[in-house]
Chains A and B, each alone.
Chain A
Amino acid sequence: MSGSTAVTHVVETDVLVIGGGTAGPMAAIKAKERQPDLRVVLMEKANVKRSGAISMGMDGLNNAVIPGHSTPEQYVREITIANDGIVDQGPVMAYANRSFEMIQYLDGLGVKFARGPTGDYDVRKVHHMGTYVLPMPEGHNVKKLLYRTLRRLRVNIINRYMATRLLTAQEGRIAGVIGINTRTSEFVVIRAKAVVLACGAAGRLGLPASGYLFGTYENPTNCGDGHAMAFHAGAALANLECFQINPLIKDYNGPACAYVTGPLGGYTANARGSRFLECDYWSGQMMLEFHRELESGAGPVFLKLDHLAEETISTVETILHTNERPSRGRFHTGRGTNYRTHMVEMHVSEIGFCSGHSASGVFVDEHARTTVPGLHAAGDLANVPHNYMLGAFVNGAFGGESAADFSADVGFGVLDRDFIRHEQERVLAATTRTDGVSPREVEYKIRRLVNDYLQPPKVTRKMELALDRLSEIRDDLEHLVAGDSHELMRALEVHSILDCAEMAARASLFRTESRWGLYHHRVDHPETDNDAWFCHSLMEKASDGSMVSRKQPIAPYLFAVADAERQSFRNVRVRPAAQGD
């Protein structure tokens, strides 16, 4: 491979979707359904058949708003409270209103949801207040059904191309993308009238406790490329200091999983086997209590199932060992962990950016529009909070439809040839060297520093040190060596990971208060300061290329939330029985 022989393919399309995991395929499908004669391209770093978070399927819908079980208004209130009020309710309401229709659409494609004896959806309560969890014990065919639908609608799928930079036209609107084949290092330039960005979470930010770079909670293909690309294209990113931190099986690093086991009687316990959380729904407050217990004399923390009946345990095993993370059973077998006799040791995950579970990401409105005209964002990388899989589908649909509409009214943006040339040089630079540092080493170092300095509880001086170390590593990017196309992909991912790490540090330093429980727990600013910080923080690229943050008011609420209600998520600890020693 040599830097001088860049092959570049050029593709033109009306709508381009980047990322073929969950939100992306739905965006492409809905763009086509909106306007069947549109040209729609779906670009994917891996292979749409098995890419993304739902690669093997999913255990259930975590946030289904189904008539008879919950109302959109109730859901909007719950999400507002779970996020300490920092929510634009419009996009959450838009999601809630369309949630049921999307379930029916997926059902129509053949996705199997749990049903009770009368044939109704068998919705379970896991959240603090409402009832929203719809199990999918046979949820392993989701990707297959999406893929079939994409083929039927003649979406042009381009697999194994990694997007590296969005292209913008002079007036700031979106013009397309440039990317590279992960096996041949050939370039593709895709000109598009409208784009939907759906590259998932930034899941390779922190280092898992195991030290294994790819043993992340998130599918590690999702390394933060989308967040980095959005930033460089001038889009605003919201509340990046609201990290994702999840309660997981220690070392295995997959969900434990309270949403599946909770309704069947399983729960999170301390070392004595006592329940210490009122509610296992993942929130910053829940994670703070989890972390406190973990660090206390009553820790560590476990998933407790050993009190359940044999029949229930078999059911749990069947779901958890065949569906979403099917290698889990092998992990337990290797350690001799049997749910009947052992509690499962848990731990906190590495940090990441992911609106699927927390609330940060590319700032969008209720049509999935970002602050860059023509650029949309959906799924784990857009900032609609606690989105999960159904949110990825619904917001993907909004993005696809809005992109289709946008593309009907405009021509192509003019491409900036110099920008493309510079980008090709940046991309291929690592292939031109024979001495230097490997992508693996640089990635390890960034992520180890993220753990050392950014993992909450956050400390101001530590985060400043992180910025010093990260800026030294920025110089090291000039020494990355890639021996083949695969390593080149990893080298480019290191650029994204570094951008995300720097954004995580800067965003965390900007918000001088504590909020969202553990997610933004600043030891030297321990109080929540609603007078100064009841607002979004938005991060953007300044004209000199640097990262700047500003405050953005919360959009006026659709539903007022009373103070008493707002406090309810703060009381997730069981009292007083299981206080830490």
Chain B
Amino acid sequence: MPLVQQTTSVPVSVDKDKCIAAKGCTVCVDVCPLDVLAINGVDGVAYMRYDECWYCMPCETDCPTGAVTVSIPYLLR
């Protein structure tokens, strides 16, 4: 069967002004148990790449600059 991409919301947001991924930080990406965060190659900021989140919060807790905010995934709210 052919495949398509679909739009979806994600529960984790990153404050661009606070994220220091451009200086080499990868903490949130490293700790996420579901491996759903990544660094955007274009603007050098962390972002949520896959909508597969346990809302467990290591990413937010361990971020050295407080850039990460975890919300409850929409379907659970």
Interface residues of A (CB under 8 A from B): 46-47, 49-52, 55-56, 160, 182-183, 210-216, 219-221, 251-253, 325-327, 330-331, 334-335, 434-438, 479, 481, 486, 489-490
CB proximity of A249 to chain B, nearest CB, Å:
10
CB-CB contacts below 8 Å: B29-66 with A: 30-36, 49-50, 52-58, 61-62
Whether B52 and A334, one on each chain, are in contact in the complex, defined by CB atoms closer than 8 angstroms, is no
> With A214-B54, A220-B54 in contact, do A331 and B30 touch (Cβ < 8 Å)?
no
> With A49-B30, A486-B35 in contact, do A436 and B72 touch (Cβ < 8 Å)?
no
**A49–B33 CA distance with the chains assembled, in angstroms:** 9
Whether A213 and B52, one on each chain, are in contact in the complex, defined by CB atoms closer than 8 angstroms, is yes
Interface residues on B, range: 20 to 34
Instruction: Please give, as numbers and ranges, the residues of chain B lying within 8 Å of A251 by CB-CB distance.
Output: 76-77
Whether A50 and B58, one on each chain, are in contact in the complex, defined by CB atoms closer than 8 angstroms, is yes
Q: Is B70 an interface residue (CB 8 A)?
A: yes
Other contacts beyond A210-B75, A212-B76: 15, CB < 8 A: A50-B32, A50-B58, A50-B62, A56-B58, A182-B35, A210-B76, A211-B75, A215-B54, A219-B56, A327-B55, A327-B72, A331-B76, A435-B3, A436-B1, A436-B3
User: Most A CB atoms within 10 A — which of B2, B33, B50, B55?
Assistant: B33
Interface residues of B (CB under 8 A from A): 1-3, 30-36, 49-50, 52-58, 61-62, 70-73, 75-77
Instruction: Please give, as numbers and ranges, the residues of chain B lying within 8 Å of A182 by CB-CB distance.
Output: 35
Report which of B1, B34, B53 forms a contact with A46, defined as CB distance below 8 A.
B34
CB proximity of A219 to chain B, nearest CB, Å:
6
Whether B33 and A221, one on each chain, are in contact in the complex, defined by CB atoms closer than 8 angstroms, is yes
Chain A, Cβ-Cβ closest to B52? A214
**A160–B26 CA distance with the chains assembled, in angstroms:** 14
> With A55-B58, A182-B35, A489-B35 in contact, do A220 and B70 touch (Cβ < 8 Å)?
no
Instruction: Please give, as numbers and ranges, the residues of chain B lying within 8 Å of A335 by CB-CB distance.
Output: 77
CB proximity of A52 to chain B, nearest CB, Å:
7
**A330–B72 CA distance with the chains assembled, in angstroms:** 7
Whether A252 and B33, one on each chain, are in contact in the complex, defined by CB atoms closer than 8 angstroms, is no
Instruction: Please give, as numbers and ranges, the residues of chain A lying within 8 Å of B35 by CB-CB distance.
Output: 46, 160, 182-183, 486, 489
> Can you name 20 A-B residue pairings with CB atoms under 8 Å?
A46-B32, A49-B30, A50-B33, A55-B33, A55-B56, A56-B58, A210-B75, A212-B76, A215-B54, A215-B75, A219-B56, A251-B77, A252-B76, A253-B76, A326-B57, A434-B3, A435-B2, A437-B1, A486-B50, A489-B35
Instruction: Please give, as numbers and ranges, the residues of chain A lying within 8 Å of B71 by CB-CB distance.
Output: 330
User: Most B CB atoms within 10 A — which of A55, A182, A327, A490?
Assistant: A327
Report which of B30, B49, B57, B73 forms a contact with A212, defined as CB distance below 8 A.
B73
Whether B76 and A219, one on each chain, are in contact in the complex, defined by CB atoms closer than 8 angstroms, is no
Report which of A47, A160, A331 forms a contact with B72, defined as CB distance below 8 A.
A331
> With A50-B62, A212-B75, A331-B76 in contact, do A219 and B33 touch (Cβ < 8 Å)?
yes
Whether B34 and A214, one on each chain, are in contact in the complex, defined by CB atoms closer than 8 angstroms, is yes
**A51–B35 CA distance with the chains assembled, in angstroms:** 11
**A481–B56 CA distance with the chains assembled, in angstroms:** 28
Instruction: Please give, as numbers and ranges, the residues of chain A lying within 8 Å of B31 by CB-CB distance.
Output: 47, 49-50
CB proximity of A335 to chain B, nearest CB, Å:
8
> With A50-B31, A51-B33 in contact, do A215 and B56 touch (Cβ < 8 Å)?
no
Report which of B2, B57, B72 forms a contact with A252, defined as CB distance below 8 A.
B72
**A182–B1 CA distance with the chains assembled, in angstroms:** 25
**A479–B54 CA distance with the chains assembled, in angstroms:** 27
CB proximity of A38 to chain B, nearest CB, Å:
27
User: Most A CB atoms within 10 A — which of B1, B34, B72?
Assistant: B72
Instruction: Please give, as numbers and ranges, the residues of chain B lying within 8 Å of A479 by CB-CB distance.
Output: 1
**A387–B76 CA distance with the chains assembled, in angstroms:** 29
**A325–B54 CA distance with the chains assembled, in angstroms:** 10
Instruction: Please give, as numbers and ranges, the residues of chain B lying within 8 Å of A436 by CB-CB distance.
Output: 1, 3
- 4 tightest Cβ-Cβ pairs between the two chains A and B: A50-B58, A50-B31, A46-B33, A212-B75
User: Most B CB atoms within 10 A — which of A325, A335, A486?
Assistant: A486
> With A211-B75, A212-B73 in contact, do A327 and B32 touch (Cβ < 8 Å)?
no
Whether A215 and B33, one on each chain, are in contact in the complex, defined by CB atoms closer than 8 angstroms, is no
**A479–B36 CA distance with the chains assembled, in angstroms:** 24
> With A183-B35, A486-B35 in contact, do A219 and B54 touch (Cβ < 8 Å)?
yes
Whether B34 and A216, one on each chain, are in contact in the complex, defined by CB atoms closer than 8 angstroms, is no
Chain A, Cβ-Cβ closest to B75? A212
**A160–B38 CA distance with the chains assembled, in angstroms:** 14
Whether A47 and B34, one on each chain, are in contact in the complex, defined by CB atoms closer than 8 angstroms, is no
Instruction: Please give, as numbers and ranges, the residues of chain A lying within 8 Å of B32 by CB-CB distance.
Output: 46-47, 50
**A50–B33 CA distance with the chains assembled, in angstroms:** 7
Instruction: Please give, as numbers and ranges, the residues of chain A lying within 8 Å of B72 by CB-CB distance.
Output: 252, 327, 330-331, 334
Instruction: Please give, as numbers and ranges, the residues of chain B lying within 8 Å of A51 by CB-CB distance.
Output: 33
**A212–B11 CA distance with the chains assembled, in angstroms:** 12
Chain A, Cβ-Cβ closest to B50? A486
Chain B, Cβ-Cβ closest to A218? B54
CB proximity of B37 to chain A, nearest CB, Å:
11
CB proximity of B54 to chain A, nearest CB, Å:
6
CB proximity of B8 to chain A, nearest CB, Å:
10
Chain A, Cβ-Cβ closest to B51? A214
Instruction: Please give, as numbers and ranges, the residues of chain B lying within 8 Å of A481 by CB-CB distance.
Output: 3
